[in-house]
Structure 1
Amino acid sequence: MDTDVVVVGAGLAGLQSARRLERLGLRVTVLEAGDAVGGRVRTDRVDGFLCDRGFQVLNPSYPAVRDWIDVPSLALQTFGVGVVVRTGETRTTLAHPLRHPQHALGTVLSDLTPVSDLVALARWLGPTLLHARAAFRSTPDLPLRESFDQVGLTGRLRRDVLDTFLAGVLADSTGSTSAGFVRLLMRSFALAAPGLPREGMQAMPEQMAAWLSEPVRLSTPARELRETSDGVAVSTDQGTLRARAAVVAVGPQDVASLVDVPAPVTHGLTTWWFRTPEVPRASPFIVLDASRPGGGPAGPVWNTAVVSEAALSYAPPGEHLVQATTLLDRPDGRASEADVLRDLARIYGTSTARWEVLVHHVVEHTLPAQPPPLRDRRPRWTGDRVLVAGDHQATGSIQGALLSGDRAGHAVASRLRP
């Protein structure tokens, strides 16, 4: 045998699986098709700017992040806990009253937060805020849109704020995601301020890879994986690796090419990254547009942020970085640069004539679909010695990826023990 376990894929799930297997005393070889670790958690460096592949944030309240990531060493730079909502020509800041007391009165008195909606939101989210397991006990779990309807959350807080914000977080504008899963996400946002590592989101998987005893084999895609009489054989362009077991932790778009499981359904988005000489809005909050009659964005941009206002390291001195996200399940999800800049000029109320695009990321498989019911899923065995892990085998989040990888490590180690 060349090693005890081959882990295919150096995203968050694969790296956490490898780390757990090593801690349990097994030899591990990690193969990664890309030129760096991270999977979907990657950062491009462009002219001194940091541009993550798809706008994403790290939430330190996730249990898996607290337990397995050295968050202090990442030097997290946090966004505001709240949003700025543009309705017509008005921009309203809605913020966590305890974290941003200067916005508390404006948040409570806003037309966007009628008392009836706040009461309905408390009814919908309250039990999960107190106990995370309550999200799994919702009977029955419903699609998000039906769950909001059920508690009477039907006013402007939903139409102009929650629907738009959550669509961007989930890459799903249809409201079909499990309400139980969304409750868990909302709980995490309430418990901590999300942020960005000083060196970009890719710093997290790079930290995890550095903890492994053997370097990840980059630019080494697994071409074929098959079970043998005494383990597995993994074919690569450099030869065949033989091991006692394998963890397949590739992205949702690639898993079916290696093992006999259906390709997971996914949601996608695009992120535009612009450099600007002037700051369009001095605010650490994500900006939503609710200018369409009946609620929601009037253009292709579902959320935007002056990222460098929250994360100074993401832009060189004297310049500013703006992200704009569009959703691929919308007709205008592949809007042109000109259309996106026109929409941003309207949202920020400023000229974008001097803005320059740094990079445009089209992330077809941002997150696995998470329809109801919410279940506490486990990594999937596809044979005696092959286990599939990833957020598509848990929940579509950093928490889900890390937890699935850790469970895979434990499961494989248990099977290999004499």
Structure 2
Amino acid sequence: MREPSDRADVVVVGAGMAGLSAAHRLTSAGLRVRVLEAAPEVGGRMSTELLDGFRLDRLGQLLCASYPELHRNPALAELMLRPFAPGVLLHSGGRHHRAGDFAGVRGGRGALSTARALAPRVPRPRLPGAAFSPAGGPLGQARLGAALARLAATGVPELLARPEAPAAEALRARGLPPKTIEGFVRPLLAALLGDPDLGTSSRAADLALYAFARGPLCLPEGGAAELPRLLAAALPPGTVRTSVRVTSVSADRVGTAEHGRLRCRGVLVATGARSAAALLPGLRTPGFHPLTVVHHTADTAPPTGPALLLDADRRGPVAHTAVVSEVDPSRAPAGRPLISSTVLGTPPDRTSKDLDAAVRRHLALLYGTSTARWELLAVHHTPDAVPAMPPPHDLRRAVRLLAGLYVCGDHRDTGTVQGALHSGRRAARAILGDLGVQPVAAEEPMPAIA
């Protein structure tokens, strides 16, 4: 790495979503970039385990088709998003209730018509005894639909200008009925932000609901690892180096355990928050929402179709679950359903066997079917899954520490894929400005999403 051919203008530490997004913009501007990743593969938390023909996401993070960065980055032009059934499916009082699918909220064309981004609109599953109304009754449904319509029509600057408070407090102040908050908004934000207590900043919660109102929830075809794979593949050959541990950083050099020091004109630390703080003493480390993803297969798929199923009553460990193979058939062998379920927080059941038993009992209640013969495929626990965003929360934390030294990641923006990608773009813009380099072409505007 100390040969002249390996000299770089910018070294990016970390090949997660933020680092790869920044590297793509820097190389597009003509800079020589090296991305150093300690793990054997790129992606960070956006990883997918391959097991006997199944594709098992480690984090199970949901995407919204309306995330601007999914459309702005040319490297993601080939990304295929597979949408869930419209809205979400709530389990409450022993029944299934459809919520969040309101005609006119997303508009006529919506995100489903954006080039190659999405498969055709999927049908609603028909469930025995299902009542297709959100918690809170007709009045709650009307208020919820009006609130989502207002959000979809509001600009992001206006959302960020609202007074900040914990999400639960802000929602009550806006007049949403308690049943609607508890029966729909709380489980939805728990699925999007990993925060079932609604202690998240109201601004971050508003952005999550805004994205939900403007485009359907989706999964990337082939697994979460498809996003970093596409970003890495779009970089010049040799840009990304895996299995390289960075031990120190400064404004003009990077120290590595395996290859000594590498000189450069700027360093961008794009690791997770804890690793970034280890390299940059004094950097604030946020709290985190841990989560566990439990993957099962069965002889037959539960009858919910491609719906995201949320537990509105919170009667067990599972916050949300889905027959993922109904959403994205590429994630499972033919004839074998893949059911992926997310447990928020640190599970009280320490062993995979105990956790599996508790999850099976809850899934039997949620799906209304026996889970006794379901097969456990994997249990993935991530302690630092989603950065916590309690108020006051700076949604645009500084990415420039000093000239030549930068930091980015979802912990500097919002704790979502959109936040990670946007943070990387902000860091790249700061680096280009400090180096006096102009982008080769102006950024493509976000496509109109009604």
- Please give the TM-score of this superposition, normalised by the length of structure 1: 0.90
**SS of structure 2 residue aligned to 1:316:** coil
From 291, 294, 303, give the equivalent of 2:320.
303
In the TM superposition, what is the alpha-carbon distance from 1:278 to its structure 2 partner?
0.7
From 301, 313, 319, give the equivalent of 2:336.
319
From 15, 37, 41, give the equivalent of 2:46.
41
Q: Which moved more, 1:155-164 or 1:377-386?
A: 377-386
From 258, 264, 272, give the equivalent of 1:251.
272
Q: Which moved more, 1:347-356 or 1:316-325?
A: 347-356
Q: Letter of the aligned partner of 1:136 in structure 2?
A: L
CA distance in structure 2 between the aligned counterparts of 1:384 and 1:132, rounded to whole angstroms: 29
Matches within 5 A, 1:113-124: 113-118=136-141, 120-121=143-144, 124=147
CA distance in structure 2 between the aligned counterparts of 1:309 and 1:354, rounded to whole angstroms: 19
Q: Letter of the aligned partner of 1:300 in structure 2?
A: P
- Alpha carbons of 1:50 and 1:100: their partners in 2 closer, same or farther (altered >3 Å)? closer
Q: Letter of the aligned partner of 1:12 in structure 2?
A: M
Matches within 5 A, 1:10-409: 10-69=15-74, 73-98=78-103, 110=133, 112-118=135-141, 120-121=143-144, 124-130=147-153, 131-138=155-162, 140-215=163-238, 216-227=240-251, 231-260=252-281, 261-290=283-312, 296-328=313-345, 336-373=355-392, 375-409=394-428
- Alpha carbons of 1:71 and 1:77: their partners in 2 closer, same or farther (altered >3 Å)? farther
CA distance in structure 1 between the aligned counterparts of 2:152 and 2:176, rounded to whole angstroms: 17
* Deviations 1:159-206 (CA, angstroms, capped at 9, x unpaired): 122212211221112211011211211121222223223221111111
Q: Letter of the aligned partner of 2:294 in structure 1?
A: W
Q: Letter of the aligned partner of 1:265 in structure 2?
A: G
* Deviations 1:59-85 (CA, angstroms, capped at 9, x unpaired): 231111111055562332211121222
- Alpha carbons of 1:36 and 1:101: their partners in 2 closer, same or farther (altered >3 Å)? closer
Q: Which moved more, 1:404-413 or 1:233-242?
A: 233-242
In the TM superposition, what is the alpha-carbon distance from 1:128 to its structure 2 partner?
3.1
* Deviations 1:325-353 (CA, angstroms, capped at 9, x unpaired): 11116757986111111111122121112
CA distance in structure 1 between the aligned counterparts of 2:171 and 2:329, rounded to whole angstroms: 37
In the TM superposition, what is the alpha-carbon distance from 1:32 to its structure 2 partner?
0.5
Number of residue pairs matched by the alignment: 408
CA distance in structure 2 between the aligned counterparts of 1:358 and 1:166, rounded to whole angstroms: 27
**SS of structure 2 residue aligned to 1:163:** helix
* Deviations 1:81-137 (CA, angstroms, capped at 9, x unpaired): 212222233222235143789799x99973724344345546655543212222101
- Alpha carbons of 1:377 and 1:55: their partners in 2 closer, same or farther (altered >3 Å)? same
**SS of structure 2 residue aligned to 1:25:** coil
CA distance in structure 1 between the aligned counterparts of 2:242 and 2:40, rounded to whole angstroms: 5
CA distance in structure 2 between the aligned counterparts of 1:209 and 1:244, rounded to whole angstroms: 22
- Alpha carbons of 1:389 and 1:219: their partners in 2 closer, same or farther (altered >3 Å)? same
CA distance in structure 2 between the aligned counterparts of 1:132 and 1:108, rounded to whole angstroms: 34
User: Is the CA contact 2:87–2:216 (under 8 Å) kept in the aligned structure 1?
Assistant: no
* Deviations 1:214-256 (CA, angstroms, capped at 9, x unpaired): 33101112112234xxx22332322211111100000122111
User: Is the CA contact 2:287–2:388 (under 8 Å) kept in the aligned structure 1?
Assistant: yes
**SS of structure 2 residue aligned to 1:304:** strand
User: Is the CA contact 2:193–2:386 (under 8 Å) kept in the aligned structure 1?
Assistant: yes
CA distance in structure 1 between the aligned counterparts of 2:22 and 2:32, rounded to whole angstroms: 12
CA distance in structure 1 between the aligned counterparts of 2:170 and 2:267, rounded to whole angstroms: 40
Identical-pair percentage: 36
Structure 1 unaligned blocks of 5 or more: 291-295
CA distance in structure 2 between the aligned counterparts of 1:117 and 1:100, rounded to whole angstroms: 26
Q: Letter of the aligned partner of 2:193 in structure 1?
A: L
**SS of structure 1 residue aligned to 2:274:** coil
User: Is the CA contact 2:76–2:230 (under 8 Å) kept in the aligned structure 1?
Assistant: no
In the TM superposition, what is the alpha-carbon distance from 1:267 to its structure 2 partner?
1.2
- Alpha carbons of 1:164 and 1:109: their partners in 2 closer, same or farther (altered >3 Å)? closer
CA distance in structure 2 between the aligned counterparts of 1:117 and 1:333, rounded to whole angstroms: 39
**SS of structure 1 residue aligned to 2:63:** coil
Q: Letter of the aligned partner of 1:271 in structure 2?
A: V
